[in-house]
Amino acid sequence: MLNPDNRTLYLDALKAPAGYELDYAAAASYSLNLTTLIMLPLALSKYRYEFDQKEKIDKIQLLEALENNYDKMDVFCQKGQIAVPKNVNILYSFLEDTVVETQIEAGIKSFHPKIWILRFTDENENYKYRLIVSSRNITFDKSWDTILVLEGEKSGRTDENRKLQNFLNYLADSAAEKIDQNRIDKLKELAAELSEVHFETPAGFDDFIDFRAPGALGADSWPFKMDYNRALIISPFLSSAILNRFQGSSNILISRKTEIDKVYSQIKNKFSQIFLIDDLLEQDLNSNDDSLDLELSLRSGLHAKIYLLEDQENNQLYLYTGSANATKAAFNGNLEFMVGLRKTNPQITLKDLIEAPAESEIKFSSILSPYIPDTNSEDPEENSESELRKFKREFLNLNFYLEVEEKKLKGENLFDLKLKCREREAEILSKDDLEISCWPVTLKKDKNSRSLSELLENQIIFSALTIDSLTSFMAFEIKISSQESISFVLNLEFAAEPQKRKERILTAIISDQNKFIKFLYLLLQDKDQFFLTDQSSLFKSKAGSSSQNNYLGLPLMEDLLQSLTDNVGVIDRIERIVREIEASDQKRIPEEFYDIWEAVVEVRREEIEGY
């Protein structure tokens, strides 16, 4: 059955299995929220961090997770669909190399998949794989979504993942000119490994998985070619042409009122039952649940995409879920990703999937209300694209890039960030009724927003920035004739940037001795024994207290020696960070640290020379 009380937090689905940690992850999403993305390394890190919206995430905790994981992730999204963050955060810079914007190619209307493929490793270099297929973008949207999580391990050669491999290779090939070869190789290596991976289907389902990627590599766009008698379709967006392709005449449709209004007259003979999700009832479902504050409380709106097909002759039920709406664009133009499962002898009907069999469980039907026809609307295919969105498409074809000039002012190293446009196409910015502003996401808009009309002269310069304000993420806001605005972020290319920029940002954040010791402490903790929320109080005392001194003695020595035995990579990371801090301000490192550290470095060098 479809049970609205069976819920999974997006972040929980990313956590590593016990005894494992992230080795590499590739993700694809139509839209992207930087605030959400910056939180994901905490879920992917070695810490069992408990997310709580009421508690402010410590910047040093987040920094360690980012520094350890940002180079293990590649996240693809559609160009122009990164949301402008509400708050300034200098840590966004650590995501720049992670985010890959995909430019819409000829024949593809939207880059619309929502998928993660993760590879985890243990201390013996054994691998586990996880595939996450969702209807949710990488955002904290409070809407009804679906998520399918499949776990896998290597089990010999198999052809069952071929379409998934093709999808990953498509991502790699499409990004060939945007990211370095090492990242392309990682993605292709993961795709190749999937030829030996078997994913386990959920309990009760057949050993059958049907991967579909409409739009990629000429893949077949219509997955529902099997014989079936009846279908249940859940989709927030609809097209009459697609709904009429489904077999039968007693199907069930669940969607939003505005969408059903547009297509009802064309599809009413195909569906015997049509429902809306009741937003008011969604709040009641969550009113007694305090554990879901971050992501699931007060959800409103339908965003799930589910296709259930009932084959009564063969007593089978097919379930497809993923990114594809029931629209023409999804099956004839977009790049999507879906997964199909099959259940034989299900002993359940489409009606049972809506009606819960147990009194103690919440019925899916309890959040549904019957649709009452309103035919005073048009089919969505007839809607015209707004002038603002048409201009955005033109705007995204402009070739912006960044340059950085370093200079010294009053003894401090500061930087001019210059926004330029490679081609004279910038003339499209000179329309009389056009207003476009821009600003780096690491700066506040109200004080730093600049008009793009300055680009018609030469360049836009954001002057005298500190190292931690430099970023390739540039926010843009477009208005035409003072209509409603549209805003987004682009991840621009640096034509030239300061050397070791991220290392210098890291050392700028570790601004005192207590932060240095806390960062060190986080680096050295055992991944299976350490609970971050239980230990964070160790460093809550004020600077100058005994908190750092308590760790600088025997506990630090023990952790460093343990890492020399179990994880020398951490020692190498610490050595690199120490060198960077020493180059800027050695006073941020306690003298007592060197009493222990010099001996550890000597042992490490002897090990390297011994090889």
Q: What pLDDT digit, counting tens, does each position of 129-165 carry? A: 999 999 999 887 777 889 999 999 999 888 999 999 9
In this predicted model, what pLDDT tens digit does every residue of 409-451 receive, in sequence order? 877 889 999 999 876 666 777 777 889 999 999 999 999 999 9
Q: How far apart are CA 459 and CA 216, in angstroms?
A: 38
Residue 502 lies in a domain: no
Task: Verify that 252 and 338 share a domain, yes or no.
Answer: yes
Task: Verify that 199 and 57 share a domain, yes or no.
Answer: yes
Task: Verify that 144 and 260 share a domain, yes or no.
Answer: no
- In CATH, what number is assigned to the domain containing residue 467? 2.60.40
Task: Verify that 391 and 378 share a domain, yes or no.
Answer: no
Spatial contact of 303 and 136, defined as CB atoms under 8 Å apart? yes
Residue 210 lies in a domain: no
Task: Verify that 297 and 413 share a domain, yes or no.
Answer: no
Q: State the residue range of the domain holding 26.
A: 12-205
pLDDT of residue 252: 96
Task: Verify that 470 and 518 share a domain, yes or no.
Answer: no
Task: Verify that 78 and 145 share a domain, yes or no.
Answer: yes
CA proximity to 24, closest of 186, 224, 260, 263: 186
Residue 505 lies in a domain: no
Residue 49 lies in a domain: yes
Task: Verify that 310 and 454 share a domain, yes or no.
Answer: no
Confidence of residue 46 (pLDDT cuts 50, 70, 90): low
DSSP assignments along 268-325, one per residue: TTTEEEEEEE-HHHHHHHHTT--TTTTTTTT--SB---EEEEEETTTTEEEEEEES--
The residue among 497, 528, 552 that closes a domain is 497
Task: Verify that 283 and 310 share a domain, yes or no.
Answer: yes
Single pTM value for the model: 0.87
Least confident residue range of 165-174, 194-203, 298-307, 574-583? 298-307
Residue 224 lies in a domain: no
Task: Verify that 414 and 427 share a domain, yes or no.
Answer: yes
- In CATH, what number is assigned to the domain containing residue 314? 3.30.870
The residue among 363, 382, 401 that closes a domain is 382
Residue 213 lies in a domain: no
The yes-or-no verdict on residue 610 having pLDDT over 70 is: no
Q: How far apart are CA 60 and CA 40, in angstroms?
A: 15
Spatial contact of 356 and 362, defined as CB atoms under 8 Å apart? yes
Structure tokens given for 82: 């990164």
Task: Verify that 398 and 343 share a domain, yes or no.
Answer: no
Beta bridge partners of residue 73, listed in sequence order: 25
Structure tokens given for 292: 């879901």
Query: Which range, 55-69, 506-520, 535-549, 550-564, is most confident?
Result: 506-520
Task: Verify that 365 and 435 share a domain, yes or no.
Answer: no
The residue among 469, 497, 525 that closes a domain is 497
Tell me how many domains the chain contains.
4
Residue 270 lies in a domain: yes
